[in-house]
Amino acid sequence: MYKYAIVVLATVSIDLRADDAIELLDKARDAYGAKKLDEAFKLVESAIAANPKSPEAHFLRANILTQQRDFEKAIVDYTRVLELAPDFAPALDQRGTAYFKLAKITESLVDFDRYIKARPEAAAAHWRRGLTLYYAQKFADGVAQFTTSDTQEPNDVENAVWHFLCNARVQGVEKARPGFLKVKRDPRGPYMMKIYEMFKGEAKPEEVFAAAEAGQADDERRTEQRFYANYYVGMYYEAVGEPKKSLEHLKKAVEMYPIGHYMMDVARVHIKLRSK
């Protein structure tokens, strides 16, 4: 009778901890949604302490760590998610991104490919995989990826440029230009279309810089325009075989005009890989 009572009490304690974990995880999600990362991290830490085998809690902590740019620790958590829930495909996608931002290109591509195998409907629009393919030197596969991505975003200059960058490695710059994907009008404005013209051989880098300075823009917008101007001038010089000029402009983009976008990390990865 005494032993039975102990078992009952232990079961009740476990149930209470499970309930605590759910409540803590819900609060952590709310804080994360409100971009209160420190608060969200403390809450999700408590949720994991209450239920160490919660894949949802580990996934949220990994996402918070990613936002805090602690990619190594984020990868540990995404890996734990996949141990607890092997079919949880978003963890593969997010881990692939974290690997990419650490310039671990092989690992990134493995995860993106596994993600697409699990979620084939995500394949067409997965431009992040296309970027990884470029740095994995799988240029023909990159051409195919950006071709399908173009069907999802047909007026995206960046997609057309990356299609060209991959194709130029397959065919050479001049032979790749006739196959440039069509872009009528990128919604971000004339400076993006000037970048498009530069890669097509119809504008010069100085015209891209002039377009980035033209018109009215608040400080945030101007910084973004200057970042992309320097970034893509740098990538243009990579395409035409001038690596020194390429790195100069990419470093200027990162150091002088930082933005909160994935392409900022792509620039960092590029510099890291090309500076070896």
- Out of 105, 122, 139, a domain closes at 122
Higher pLDDT, 9 or 16: 16
CATH number for position 190: 1.25.40.10
* Side-chain-facing half-sphere of 199: CA atoms under 13 Å: 35
pLDDT digits (tens, 9 = 90+) for 69-97: 999 999 999 999 999 999 999 999 999 99
**What number is the average pLDDT over the span 133-142?**
98
Q: Does one domain contain both 90 and 189?
A: no
Per-residue pLDDT, 152: 81
Last residue of a domain, one of 122, 146, 163: 122
On the question of pLDDT at 2 being above 60, the answer is no
Structural tokens at position 229: 């101007």
Same domain, 44 and 151: no
Whether residues 269 and 133 fall in one domain: yes
135/208 same-domain check: yes
Alpha-carbon gap, residue 32 to 10, rounded angstroms: 32
Distances (CA, A) of 114 to 17, 74, 92, 108, 201: 34, 18, 7, 10, 37
Domain total in the chain: 2
Q: Are residues 149 and 109 in the same domain?
A: no
Give pTM, 2 decimals: 0.91
Of 77, 104, 122, the residue at which a domain comes to its end is: 122
Residue 122 DSSP label: G
Residue 104 has φ and ψ, to the nearest 5°, of -95, 80
Is residue 70 located within the same domain as residue 116?
yes
Q: Residues 75, 100: one domain?
A: yes
Question: 197: which 2 tokens?
Answer: 């013209």
Alpha-carbon gap, residue 154 to 185, rounded angstroms: 9
Instruction: Say how far apart CA 159 and CA 169 lie, in whole Å.
Output: 16
- The residue segments making up the domain with residue 61 are 2-122
Cα–Cα–Cα angle for 117, 122, 125, nearest 5°?
A: 130
